[in-house]
């Protein structure tokens, strides 16, 4: 049976359960490292705080009920279990075990509730469903969140973001999204367009107040109202917006579009009693939308359409504007035919590393299997040499209680975290996050796996560009003039 794991609950210690930093419930613009980061997010307003307290109290009063399963996935044998479904309940259990970690706003309440839960067995171990792989449970996630009671429903934005995350993960393969989510192609394309439109707000920062901008880019922004606005045909006609599958094309002068869009955001965030307040009640039908639309200044059509393409890691939107091509730095040209441009030179006493670097300046990207494996080899050798050359070998061997040759690349990268500048540390953190597009897991797959969906030239170029700032820090790479 393909999904037999769904029927097998196994007990796992609460300590071994790791929270999911990419949970669609969380604000994607924030980072989640410590337990407090997660807690502050899930009690960010009074309603959510009261709901969380209600959940904790229910667990104390009724013990931990497992009919709403906690679903986990273990990436590596003997590693932690990442909680894919049930993060709020696991957070509640962790706080009941260690109430001193509760934030000030709920510390007294949690401490009191923890007394009632003292010595209860469920604080040590709980039954969980262990999925064999992350892909095997993606469909499961999208069948959930229609329950009542203590199972919190995803908000509209959380639903849309979940679909968009899948869209990015599967490189735009709509068929995979249909299979996992059960949605139609039209619904999926609509979801992705809405997220692209929402993400464009990052480009309006100079036209909004700090408070407006902070709210607009957060998960508190009324995305359902935004969705209704841009679904209206008259809005799209006047603002010269065309939809083509998942693509959003705006054939309007960009300054005009920004001005109109920022005004829309302001009216959506206005006080409830404001004359021009736009919300789900004031734009119920086409006539009401046109009433507001007439109040906007006319926008001018442009021959240079703005194309909304992808969401970056920090939540901003990359825009492809159709303009005459200009020269761009090689580390940003994803269509180049060689992984490394001839203008870069490496100085090193490691002859094999030097040979690989030079070969990647000459091998065409159509030799994708050799090139992909070489990226992993360069990272491995570079990190090893950096540790040795910077007299860190004794420290890392002491930490892992073994010789350097026995220490894995993952352990070496983890060891180097906080020993490099912030930008490079961020790269290490993303490399070590298996859910990131450019992860060590993907690099390992280039050497040990059989998958081919990460082997196109564009992806390899982007992966190299992602790693390039790290390589420039730990290697002696220089740019040679007139190359």
Q: Which long-range contacts (CB under 8 A, 24 or more apart) does 318-322 make?
A: 319/200, 319/203, 321/254
φ/ψ of residue 309, rounded to 5 = -110, -60
pTM over 0.85: no
Instruction: Kindly write down the DSSP assignment for every residue of 94-150, as one continuous string.
Output: HHHH-GGGS-HHHHHHHHHHHHHTTT-GGGTEEEEEEESSHHHHHHHHTT-S---TT
Q: What is the mean pLDDT of the chain?
A: 82
Distance CA 306, CA 252 (A): 8
Measured CA to CA in angstroms, residue 171 lies from 17, 124, 165, 319 at distances of 29, 40, 10, 17
Instruction: Kindly write down the DSSP assignment for every residue of 160-209, as one continuous string.
Output: HHHHHHHHHHTTT-HHHHHHHH---HHHHHHHHHHHHHHHGGGGGGGGS-
In the chain, what is the straight-line distance between the N-terminal and C-terminal CA atoms, in Å? 59
Please tell me the predicted confidence (pLDDT) of residue 378: 95
Lowest-confidence pick of 15-24, 315-324, 409-418: 315-324
Helix axis angle, 409-416 relative to 393-400, nearest 10°? 110
Tokens of 165: 């995350």
221: number of Cβ within 10 Å: 19
Closest by CA position to 122, among listed 80, 159, 93 = 93
Q: Which long-range contacts (CB under 8 A, 24 or more apart) does 264-269 make?
A: 264/229, 264/296, 265/201, 265/204, 265/208, 265/212, 265/216, 266/208, 266/212, 267/292, 268/221, 268/222, 268/225, 268/226, 269/212, 269/215, 269/216, 269/221
φ/ψ of residue 378, rounded to 5 = -60, -45
Mean pLDDT of 262-278: 93
Chain segment 298-319, per-residue pLDDT in tens = 999 988 777 665 544 344 444 4
Lowest-confidence pick of 121-130, 258-267, 404-413: 121-130
Lowest-confidence pick of 143-157, 225-239, 279-293, 418-432: 143-157
State the alpha helices, DSSP H only, in 417-456. 422-431, 440-448
Please tell me the predicted confidence (pLDDT) of residue 238: 94
Q: Residue 281 above 70 pLDDT? A: yes
Helix axis angle, 185-199 relative to 174-181, nearest 10°? 110
Please tell me the predicted confidence (pLDDT) of residue 167: 79
Q: Residue 263 above 90 pLDDT? A: yes
Mean pLDDT of 90-100: 92
Closest by CA position to 261, among listed 343, 341, 206, 191 = 206
DSSP label at 364?
B
Please tell me the predicted confidence (pLDDT) of residue 209: 93
Distance CA 383, CA 396 (A): 12
Judge whether 432 and 413 are in contact, CB under 8 Å: yes
Judge whether 95 and 40 are in contact, CB under 8 Å: no
Judge whether 369 and 458 are in contact, CB under 8 Å: no
Strand, coil or helix: 448: helix
Burial class of residue 76 (count of CB atoms within 10 Å of its CB; 0-12, 13-18, 19+): exposed
Instruction: Kindly write down the DSSP assignment for every residue of 214-281, as one continuous string.
Output: HHHTSTTS-HHHHHHHHH-HHHHHHTTEEEETTEEEEEE-HHHHHHHHHHHHHHHHS-TT-TT--STT
The continuous run of DSSP H or E covering 344 comes out as strand 344-347
Burial class of residue 409 (count of CB atoms within 10 Å of its CB; 0-12, 13-18, 19+): middle
């Amino acid at each position: 049976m393909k999904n037999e794991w769904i029927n097998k609950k196994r007990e796992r210690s609460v300590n071994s359960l790791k929270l999911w930093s990419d949970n669609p419930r969380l604000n994607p613009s924030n980072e989640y490292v410590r337990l407090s980061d997660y807690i502050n997010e899930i009690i960010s307003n009074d309603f959510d705080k009261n709901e969380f307290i209600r959940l904790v109290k229910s667990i104390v009063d009724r013990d931990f009920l497992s009919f709403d399963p906690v679903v986990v996935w273990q990436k590596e044998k003997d590693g932690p279990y990442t909680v894919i479904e049930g993060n709020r309940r696991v957070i509640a259990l962790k706080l009941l075990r260690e109430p001193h970690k509760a934030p000030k706003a709920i510390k007294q309440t949690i401490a009191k509730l923890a007394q009632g839960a003292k010595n209860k067995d469920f604080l040590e171990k709980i039954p969980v469903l262990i999925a064999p792989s992350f892909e095997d449970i993606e469909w499961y996630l999208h069948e959930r969140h229609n329950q009542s009671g203590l199972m919190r429903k995803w908000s509209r934005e959380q639903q849309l973001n979940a679909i968009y995350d899948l869209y990015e993960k599967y490189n735009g393969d709509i068929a995979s999204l249909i299979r996992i989510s059960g949605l139609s192609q039209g619904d999926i394309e609509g979801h992705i367009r809405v997220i692209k439109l929402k993400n464009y707000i990052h480009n309006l920062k100079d036209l909004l107040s700090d408070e407006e901008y902070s709210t607009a880019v957060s998960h508190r922004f009324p995305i359902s109202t935004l969705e209704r606005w841009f679904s209206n045909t008259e809005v799209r006609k006047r603002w010269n917006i065309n939809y083509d599958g998942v693509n959003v094309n705006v054939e309007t002068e960009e300054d005009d579009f920004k001005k109109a869009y920022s005004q829309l955001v302001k009216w959506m965030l206005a006080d409830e009693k404001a004359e021009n307040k736009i919300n789900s009640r004031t734009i119920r039908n086409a006539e009401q939308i046109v009433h507001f639309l007439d109040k906007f200044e006319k926008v001018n059509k442009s021959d240079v359409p703005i194309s909304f393409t992808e969401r970056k890691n920090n939540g901003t939107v990359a825009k492809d504007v159709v303009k005459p091509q200009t020269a761009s730095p090689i580390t940003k040209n994803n269509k180049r035919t060689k992984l490394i441009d001839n203008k870069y030179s490496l100085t090193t006493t490691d002859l094999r590393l030097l040979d690989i670097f030079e070969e990647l300046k000459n091998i065409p990207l159509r030799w994708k299997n050799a090139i992909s494996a070489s990226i992993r080899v360069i990272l491995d050798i570079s990190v090893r040499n950096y540790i040795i050359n910077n007299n860190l070998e004794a420290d890392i061997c002491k930490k892992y209680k073994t010789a350097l040759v026995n220490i894995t690349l993952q352990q070496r990268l983890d060891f180097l975290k906080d020993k490099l500048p912030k930008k490079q540390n961020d790269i290490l953190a993303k490399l070590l996050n298996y859910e990131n597009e450019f992860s060590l897991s993907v690099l390992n797959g280039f050497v040990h796996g059989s998958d081919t969906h990460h082997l196109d030239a564009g992806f390899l170029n982007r992966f190299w560009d992602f790693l390039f700032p790290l390589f420039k820090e730990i290697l002696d790479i220089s740019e040679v003039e007139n190359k």
